[in-house]
Amino acid sequence: MKVRIKFSKHGVLKYIGHLDVMRYFQRAFRRANIDIKYSAGFSPHQIMSFAAPLGVGLESEGEYMDVELLSFPSSHDLIWALNEQMAEGIEIHNAVLLPDGTGNAMASVTAAGYYIDFRDGFLPPKGWEEAIRDFMAQEEILYLKKTEKTEREINLKEYIFDFRLSSHAEKDCLYLMVDASSSGNIKPAMVMEKMYEFLGGYAFDSFNLLITREDTYLNRGTKEAPDFAPLDQIGITVEEESDQTNES
Amino acid sequence: MQDLFLSDEILMQISKPERYIGHEINSVVKRPESVDIRMAMCFPDVYEIGMSHLGIQILYDMFNSYEDVWCERVYSPWPDLDAVMRREHIPLFSLESQEPVKYLDFLAITLQYEMCYTNILQILDLAEIPLRAVDRSDNDPIIVGGGPCSYNPEPIAEFFDFFYIGEGETSYREILDLYKEHKANGGSRIDFLKKVATVPGMYVPQFYDVTYHEDGTIKAYTPNVPEAPAMVPKCIVKNFDEVTYPTKPVVPYIRATQDRVVLEIQRGCIRGCRFCQAGQLYRPVREKNVETLKKYAKEMLENTGYEEITLSSLSSSDYSDLPELVNYLIDICNEKHVNISLPSLRIDSFSLDVMSKVQDIKKSSLTFAPEAGSQRMRNVINKGLTKEDILRGAKMAFEGGWTRVKLYFMLGLPTETEEDMLAIGELANEIAGLFFDTIPKEQRREKIQIVVSTSFFVPKPFTPFQWAPMITEQECIDRAHVTLSGIHSQLNQKRIKYNWHEPDVSVLEGIFARGDRRVAKTILKAYEKGAIFDAWTEYFDRSKWEEAIRETGLDIAFYTSRKRADDEIFPWDHLNCGVSKEFLLREWHRAQEETVSPNCRQSCNGCGAMQYQCGVCVEPHTGEAVHDGSKME
Ligand code: SF4
Ligand code: SF4
């Protein structure tokens, strides 16, 4: 059975890269004695897949991974057992049973939300609200997307689902929701780079952004009329069986 | 990030910030107010190397099991961070508390290889601790050295307050208690070091005066305080089965070089290969009970979540209960989906069977370390492996489906002739030929591949070859070329690949290994010129060392290629590693007579380790040749 797990990543653990996070979880699953499925062969590995890899230096409140379990006593038990094994900074928030036939975590991702703050107190010439409104009022926001081999111009505007003033951890910041699907794969720094350019007079350095991923979303609606929901909204919370609960 | 010592700005600009953030699973954090002594264990190399070292894990766990002690870890900052720390005057910090090292009571540095010596200076320098022991004040941490290089610590002696000679599990408690008493009573750093000098195994270099003969050799080592003994004995664990072991080792986030459960099955080695320092330093061989090891294996897998386990010892095939242990591990590892990474084993039907169970034959290779090409040379070095052993093992392996063979040799061994070098190619050729003879053409799924690697022999203290002249850099290059052309002249040369290292690092190793106190100024000079991470090819800067050697007037030949007289006093002769100088000299003479000596299980050679009354010395000796079939006189 496939179980989707939601976790957050904060504090010193933001310096741990994606591959190391995967290994960290594999070891945590072993320590917690979770009944996870292994691949066959000489170096058996756990059947585990992550939704959207998080870059080094980013924090997150909504990370997801799917695991294939051989038994799943209850959501609460799994969350508890894993949290016992977590290092300070990573916390498990949810574990839901996925309906049969659900695509893997990575394929389900359509969007991701981000809180964006600035290392050097970057301020736009007018106000934030105006700045964002003017930025988004552009007909198109052309961005040259480069990969190792190809270069392609895209209209970023089509990939931005939400952009506004917000607050996070008792501080004002920006909130940005972009297309995070494997075909879109928009990083907040791309949008910010264009915004700096639009406002003019600022040298852009992605190093100055302090980014926290707010959540990762799937789309329950259609492309034209999207209905975004966090990735764990399609799963089922499994309750403990009553005969296992102790007297209270 | 208030709980980290480095700012977010710095961490985001350097490579692998994970090296500096601590917070790993099973790392130990204590409240500073709750302990009397704070210390750090240091491995003077990058985190991934240092975290792979079993010795530090053992001592870290032992120290933290003491309620009154908090032991942390510290490793060498990589050159990118090193530059930032120097530029911004950021002091070196320890990983757990993320606080400066200079406020600790002790900094214990493990000395695993000579090429880390400039990194020791880097550590002290970044920590803002005076480099030389005599310049330190009562507020500076006590700098302790330990590990294999502390058996001849003279080239770095002036940078340490004391060296702990021997196995760390035995005597630290006594030193910590002396320290607590010292702190309570007050007194100077020197007063404390005098007390330390009275503990067996503790060597305080500044309490010894050295005099030299006119030819530069040593005349005498004389203690200059009554507390310092004329001869420092090593510390050794007698009950090896019951000694402390870290069943909850720290698990790194970043991939370390050794990133798995490590079971130390035995310490020491029964074989007395005459070039090998470890084989002498850790005598006598002591084993852990197989039941103890089974228990550790299970607990450690549970406590770490590691996906792999391996065995550690100098010569795992000699462990008495190896089949029982390995079969147990195969069972629990199957059940827990854990890989077994086998140590190098003598190739026989048992090891081939085990290898075929735990690894993919197509991807794995057979390893032989004959160390020398000819039987004559192998007799000189007392390597009990014969050509017949190798060919028998290789034949069995070819029949089992293996097609890749790795062969390790040394060049520059004492008495080596061109014939011995050419024998390397001949042996490789013979193995390739054996493959074609053993496996009929239609059954050859893959081509045979033989990789020959040679390293240059560096004479080490406390070995029978401590008297041996080391070959010069030019001779190293020449011998590698002879070996190469020897390989090229073979019939099957297309199937043989040859690797060798540049000899410049070997020359430095040779200087440090048998160096005396006069070498320190060269190391300091090279460091001042910017030499660090000398063990890393990409950072080793030959020109800095050449300049340092020239400017300090160091005579390379005196330390390396000079022939030493039988009665020369060596810089390490006032330390006692358990084997006697008479025994080593006897073995040096037998080497020249090309005579092999039996291993400890066959019969006792009277090396001197009997004084400890433990391990193989007190086992009944069989007097017969054991399983390896090596030829005895
Ligand atoms: S077998 Fe020889 S080389 Fe290996 S550890 Fe023992 S003495 Fe040293
Ligand atoms: S005293 Fe004898 S048995 Fe003991 S280590 Fe030495 S040679 Fe081996």
Does A121 or B286 have the greater pLDDT score? B286
Shortest CB distance from A87 goes to which of B12, B23, B302? B23
- pLDDT value of position A171: 87
| Assigned token pair, B104 | 């600790």
Can you tell me whether residue A145 is helix, strand or coil?
Answer: strand
Interface residues of A toward B, Cβ cutoff 8 Å, are 11-13, 15-17, 20, 23-24, 26-31, 33, 38, 42-45, 56-57, 85, 87-89, 119, 207
| Assigned token pair, A144 | 């040259």
Task: Quote the CA–CA distance of B375 and B387 in Å, as a whole number.
Answer: 7
Residue B607's nearest CA partner among B320, B316, B272 is B272
Question: Is B442 at the interface with chain A, CB within 8 A?
Answer: no
Between the CA of B435 and the centroid of ligand 2 the distance, in Å, is: 39
pLDDT (mean) for B299-328: 96
Q: Is the peptide bond before B284 cis (omega within 30 degrees of 0)?
A: yes
The secondary structure of chain A in percent helix, strand, coil, rounded to multiples of 5, reads 25, 35, 40
| Assigned token pair, A230 | 């966090």
Q: Do A16 and B339 touch (CB under 8 A)?
A: no
Look up the CATH number of domain A2-107+235-247.
3.30.70.580
Question: Is B594 at the interface with chain A, CB within 8 A?
Answer: no
pLDDT band at B628 (very low <50, low <70, confident <90, very high): very low
Q: Please say if the pLDDT value at position A102 is more than 90.
A: no
- A111, A11 Cβ separation under 8 angstroms: no
Q: Which phi-psi region, left, alpha or beta, contains residue B493 (left: φ > 0; alpha: ψ -120 to 50)?
A: alpha
Task: Quote the CA–CA distance of A176 and A188 in Å, as a whole number.
Answer: 7
Shortest distance, CA B26 to any CA of chain A (angstroms): 9
- pLDDT value of position B630: 34
Query: Residue B349's CB: how many other CB atoms inside 10 A?
Result: 10
Name the percent of chain A lying above pLDDT 90: 69
Q: Please say if the pLDDT value at position B297 is more than 80.
A: yes
pLDDT (mean) for A166-190: 92
* CA distances from residue B76 to B48, B49, B505, B533 in whole angstroms, order as listed: 10, 10, 20, 9
pLDDT (mean) for B487-495: 94
Helices (H), B112-251: 117-126, 172-185, 189-197
Residue B57's nearest CA partner among B252, B333, B309 is B252
- pLDDT value of position B629: 35
Shortest distance, CA A137 to any CA of chain B (angstroms): 34
Query: Residue B220's CB: how many other CB atoms inside 10 A?
Result: 13
For an interface test with B, which of A12, A34, A83, A206 has the most B Cβ atoms less than 10 Å from its Cβ? A12
Which is the CATH superfamily of the domain at B8-233? Cobalamin-binding domain (3.40.50.280)
pLDDT by residue (tens digit) across B103-119?
999 999 999 999 999 99
pLDDT band at B404 (very low <50, low <70, confident <90, very high): very high
Task: Quote the CA–CA distance of B241 and A151 in Å, as a whole number.
Answer: 63
Task: Quote the CA–CA distance of B204 and B206 in Å, as a whole number.
Answer: 6
Lowest mean pLDDT among B268-277, B403-412, B435-444: B435-444
Which residue has tokens 């970043």? Answer: B254
The upper half-sphere exposure of residue A37, i.e. CA atoms within 13 Å in the direction of its Cβ, equals 15
User: For the whole prediction, is pTM greater than 0.80?
Assistant: yes
pLDDT band at A248 (very low <50, low <70, confident <90, very high): very low
* CA distances from residue B499 to B406, B451, B453, B467, B496 in whole angstroms, order as listed: 11, 7, 5, 28, 10
Query: Residue B605's CB: how many other CB atoms inside 10 A?
Result: 17
Residue B373's nearest CA partner among B430, B448, B432, B314 is B430
- B558, B216 Cβ separation under 8 angstroms: yes
- pLDDT value of position B627: 42
Q: Please say if the pLDDT value at position B199 is more than 50.
A: yes
Helix axes of B290-304 and B322-336: crossing angle, nearest 10 degrees: 20
Rg (CA), chain B: 25
Amino acid at B322: L
- pLDDT value of position B29: 97
Helix axes of B117-126 and B520-528: crossing angle, nearest 10 degrees: 60
Task: Quote the CA–CA distance of B520 and B533 in Å, as a whole number.
Answer: 17
- A150, A90 Cβ separation under 8 angstroms: no
pLDDT band at A169 (very low <50, low <70, confident <90, very high): confident
DSSP B105: S
From the CB of B609, is ligand 2 less than 6 Å away?
yes
| Assigned token pair, B70 | 């908090």
Please give, one letter per residue, the 3-state secondary structure of B237-282.
Answer: CCCCCCCCCCCCCCECCCCCCCCCEEEECEECCCCCCCCCCHHHHC
Residue B513's nearest CA partner among B103, B112, B81 is B112
pLDDT by residue (tens digit) across B524-560?
999 999 999 999 999 999 999 999 999 999 999 999 9
Q: Please say if the pLDDT value at position B305 is more than 60.
A: yes
Between the CA of B315 and the centroid of ligand 1 the distance, in Å, is: 7
- pLDDT value of position A124: 79
Residue B325's nearest CA partner among B352, B359, B287, B361 is B287
pLDDT band at A148 (very low <50, low <70, confident <90, very high): confident
Q: Where in chain A is the domain with CATH 3.30.70.580?
A: 2-107+235-247
Residue B303's closest chain A neighbor by CA?
A: A31
Does B47 or A206 have the greater pLDDT score? B47
pLDDT (mean) for B421-440: 95
Q: Do A26 and B9 touch (CB under 8 A)?
A: no
Task: Quote the CA–CA distance of B317 and B308 in Å, as a whole number.
Answer: 20
pLDDT band at A242 (very low <50, low <70, confident <90, very high): low
